[in-house]
């Protein structure tokens, strides 16, 4: 049985994962509209993964006899200043998600809810991977700067990542 505090925290996390999914869709469509089809493909795929994260929490809550609350999703920004700005925004958002997962893990530990603490371990590991992925795209973009050929290669590589996943 989940405590009210844990239930609230998990529902908030559902909201954050739902927003992540929507946010990456918004950055993806901007990328596609601006010629970065590979990065768009990568972000659309990532958006699907975020929905899966959200559903993971639904399943866990249901299994624990609780009801997940389907969140209202805020409208993400439609515009990006550049492809770099879009990826930077995604990284910043992931850091916020990591902080939220960590604080939920902290609460579950304090509440002696070891089942939820254990459930959150998957997310803790996933956050490390996701932050790392966005950081690595950002470093590649920084390496080529505004060189269009370099950006083209990065874009192509990002699209291939989805095909190979």
Residues of the shown chain interacting with ligand OFO in the complex, contacts defined by CB under 6 A: 17, 20, 50, 53, 94, 97, 126, 130
Q: Which of 7, 41, 38, 8 is nearest to 24 (CA)?
A: 41
Tell me whether residue 108 or residue 133 sits nearer to ligand OFO (CB atom).
Answer: 133
Tell me whether residue 27 or residue 151 sits nearer to ligand OFO (CB atom).
Answer: 27
Residue 141 C-beta: closest distance to ligand OFO, Å: 19
Q: Which of 142, 140, 123 is nearest to 38 (CA)?
A: 140
Residue 112 C-beta: closest distance to ligand OFO, Å: 26
Question: Which residues are CB-contacts of 98 (< 8 A; sequence separation ≥ 6)?
Answer: 127, 128, 131
User: d(Cα 141, Cα 28) in Å, to the nearest integer?
Assistant: 16
Tell me whether residue 40 or residue 101 sits nearer to ligand OFO (CB atom).
Answer: 101
Residue 42 C-beta: closest distance to ligand OFO, Å: 13
Mapping DSSP to helix (H, G, I), strand (E, B) and coil, where does residue 65 land? coil
């Amino acid at each position: 049985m989940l405590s009210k505090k844990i239930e609230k925290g998990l529902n908030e996390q559902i909201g954050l994962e739902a927003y992540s999914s929507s946010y990456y869709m918004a950055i993806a469509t901007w990328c596609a509209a601006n010629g970065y089809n590979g990065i768009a493909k990568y972000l659309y795929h990532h958006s699907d993964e975020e929905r899966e994260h959200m559903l993971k929490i639904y399943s866990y809550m249901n299994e624990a006899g609780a009801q997940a609350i389907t969140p209202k999703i805020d409208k993400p920004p439609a515009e990006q200043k550049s492809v770099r700005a879009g990826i930077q925004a995604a990284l910043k958002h992931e850091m916020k998600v990591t902080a939220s997962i960590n604080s939920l893990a902290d609460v579950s530990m304090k509440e002696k809810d070891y089942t939820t603490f254990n459930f959150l371990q998957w997310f803790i590991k996933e956050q490390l991977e996701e932050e790392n992925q966005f950081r690595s795209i950002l470093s590649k973009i920084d390496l080529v700067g505004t060189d269009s050929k370099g950006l083209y290669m990065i874009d192509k590589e990002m699209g291939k990542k989805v095909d190979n996943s």
